[in-house]
Amino acid sequence: MSEGRIELELQARAEDYSQEALASIDINVGPAGAAYRGIVNEVRSVIRGSKNFSAIYLEGLYGSGKTLVLRKSAYDIISGPSKKDYERVMPIYFFLGATGFKLLQGFKNYAEEVKTYATTQEKLPTKPYIVGEKIDWKGRLPLLEECLKVVNKVEEGYKKGEEREVLGFFDVLREVNKRGYYPLLIFDEFERVISGEALTTEEERRAFATFARKYLELTRGHLYSGVFVIATTRPIWELLNNAIDEQRPHIRLIFDLLGLRLDRPEDFPMVKPHIVYDHSTELAWLGHHLETLAKKYGLLLHEEVLSLISGILPMPRTVIQIDRKIRVELEKVPEVVQPKDLYKVMQAKIEELRRALEEARTDDGKFLIPPRAVWPERFIKLLENGYFVVKSDKYEEVAKVLGIGGDEGKAKQRVSQVLSKLSELGLYERLGAGKYRLNHHIFAYALGIERLPDGSQATRDELITKIKRAITMARRRRGKAEEASNQTECYRPSPHVSPR
């Protein structure tokens, strides 16, 4: 085994890691390490009495490692090397994408599931929000029992469902404080709340409006003593604006309940300027972070491929998925995967996309790709030879690959025209003067990555729609240019007649 390498099979989804894997995984890679240390240090400050409360904000696109950071933090607090320091900490983990926005009921379910997990001898599969070894949870079971009794009282004390779910939940957290413990409240996948995916019922929407109204008190530590962590893909204000622009059905009810206007999203309680977090981390991965990850876990990808990934889909999940795909699909797995090797696992999807484009027609019934069009062949040639990113200093090489002859200057000019055409059609993206890269949606689709880090889908039908739109617009521009040119010719005065 290479020095510093860890023998652990990385998972594309952090929910899939077992307790054993969480125990051994090294989280100190790239921005994930900073996020992990931020959470653990803030918990330590609270239990040592340096502060009463800490609010933590964690942001990162899909696949950036948010859930791994949260699960690893909770695991180490329960069962890590320093677990004795955290014996008075009670993690309460809400995986909102799966559970919905039911705080009191969600806590009740969580407590029951933890009890079952800790008291069952058999090794059963666990939910992603239950982390830590069974033996380390047993000392917290009496507290969970007492909290469940409080839940029953709270359920009888509030008449309105939304107040019961939110205010009653914070009553339970204060009960945790009374018994000498500090709640570590974790909200994972909070973006699904703002988008409405976790607000499927009116009661959940009313509960969220109540939660939003109490958010300032929560982040100031007025509702309980402990730690609160919220994780999301995008800034909350951006998610909110997107939901408003998309006219999501839950948004109007929530704004009405809060007495707000939809044209003033800046008044939403969770995005006010006085909302301040004790610690914030954005999981933004750079090329050297991905290289460190690959070396530490023995991934096959060459630094040129990692550099490519960092410019298109810069996420650990992308690196892991590509590594796994290569190991499964290539008969002969190279020691280090070069860009040309990468195309071999993309080829089937790229050919599928090409066939679909050849069969597609525009709205006026014309073939999307004319019979004599040469750009599909050139597009394939570029990918076959590993040119996922093309810079101007490589134009001479590219000219030879594409079979473009002539003197060096003219050949480079024709390569530039080819790349400009592919960019116009949405197959490549122009990054700057003389630099192009493969469209990141096509890259994701060809590698079988269904969801991009920003949450958008990379499907064949979606790609065809986008390419069809680009081709239609390009044809319209050319038509207008030709029409303008013809008009100029018509009105150009004869050289034998003096204009009046």
Length of the chain: 500
Question: Does some domain include residue 214?
Answer: yes
Count of domains for the chain: 2
pTM of the model as a whole: 0.84
| CA–CA separation, 188 and 128 (whole Å) | 11
| Residues 165 and 267 placed together within one structural domain of the fold | yes
Strand 226-232 and strand 182-188: the pairing is: parallel
Q: How far apart are CA 70 and CA 186, in angstroms?
A: 8
Same domain, 21 and 123: yes
Residue 492 lies in a domain: no
Tell whether 20 is covered by a domain.
yes
Q: Is 120 exposed, middle or buried (0-12, 13-18, 19+ CB in 10 A)?
A: exposed
Residue 247: inside a domain: yes
Q: What is the pLDDT of residue 476?
A: 83
Give the domain extent around 374. Answer: 338-482
Contact 451, 466 (CB under 8 A): no
Do the Cβ atoms of 193 and 208 come closer than 8 Å?
yes
**The token pair that represents 487 in the structure block:** 């008009």
pLDDT at residue 1, as a whole number:
37
- In order, the DSSP letters of 102-152 are -HHHHHHHHHHHHHHHHH--S-----TT--S-HHHHHTTHHHHHHHHHHHH
Are residues 156 and 73 part of one domain? yes
Residue 363 burial by Cβ neighbours in a 10 Å radius (0-12, 13-18, 19+): exposed
Tell whether 463 is covered by a domain. yes
Q: List helix spans (H) across 313-459.
A: 316-329, 339-359, 375-384, 395-401, 408-424, 440-446
Question: Could you identify the residue written with the tokens 């109490």?
Answer: 214
Helical residues (DSSP H) of 195-334, grouped into ranges: 202-213, 215-219, 236-245, 249-257, 287-296, 303-312, 316-329
With 0-12 / 13-18 / 19 or more C-beta atoms within 10 angstroms meaning exposed / middle / buried, residue 354 is: middle
User: What residues of the chain score a pLDDT lower than 70?
Assistant: 1-7, 124-125, 482, 484-500
Is position 301 within any domain? no
Let me know if residue 464 belongs to a domain. Answer: yes
- CB 475: neighbour CB atoms within 10 A? 13
For residues 314 and 443, give the distance between their C-alpha atoms in angstroms, rounded to a whole number: 12
300 within some domain = no
Residues 376 and 255 placed together within one structural domain of the fold: no
Claim to verify: residue 269 and residue 346 sit in the same structural domain: no
Query: What pLDDT was estimated at residue 5?
Result: 60
- φ, ψ (nearest 5 deg) of residue 469: -60, -45
- Are 272 and 352 in the same domain? no
Q: Under a CB-based contact definition with an 8 Å cutoff, are residues 301 and 337 in contact?
A: yes
93 with 188, same domain: the answer is yes
State residue 163's pLDDT score: 86
Q: Which of 384, 350, 360 is nearest to 471 (CA)?
A: 360
Structure tokens that stand for 482 in this block: 């030709």
Q: Are residues 270 and 361 in the same domain?
A: no
Note the pLDDT of residue 303. Answer: 81
Of residues 458, 452, 465, 459, the one with CA closest to residue 312:
452
Residues 272 and 360 both lie in one domain: no
The CATH number assigned to the domain holding 167 equals 3.40.50.300
Is 125 found in the same domain as 207? Answer: yes
**For residue 152, how many other CB atoms are within 10 A of its CB?**
10
Same domain, 21 and 87: yes
Residues 95 and 20 in one domain: yes
From residue 323, how far is each of 5, 348, 387 by CA, in Å?
A: 16, 17, 19
Query: Across the chain, which distance is largest between two alpha carbons, in Å?
Result: 105
**Residue 397: half-sphere exposure toward Cβ, Cα within 13 Å:** 10
Beta bridge partner(s), residue 184: 91, 227
Tokens of residue 269, six digits: 């309680």
pLDDT, tens only, 116-126: 999 998 876 67
The DSSP element (H or E) to which 194 belongs, if any, is helix 191-194
Measure Cα distances from 8 to 28, 216, 320, 406, 445 in Å: 15, 41, 12, 53, 27
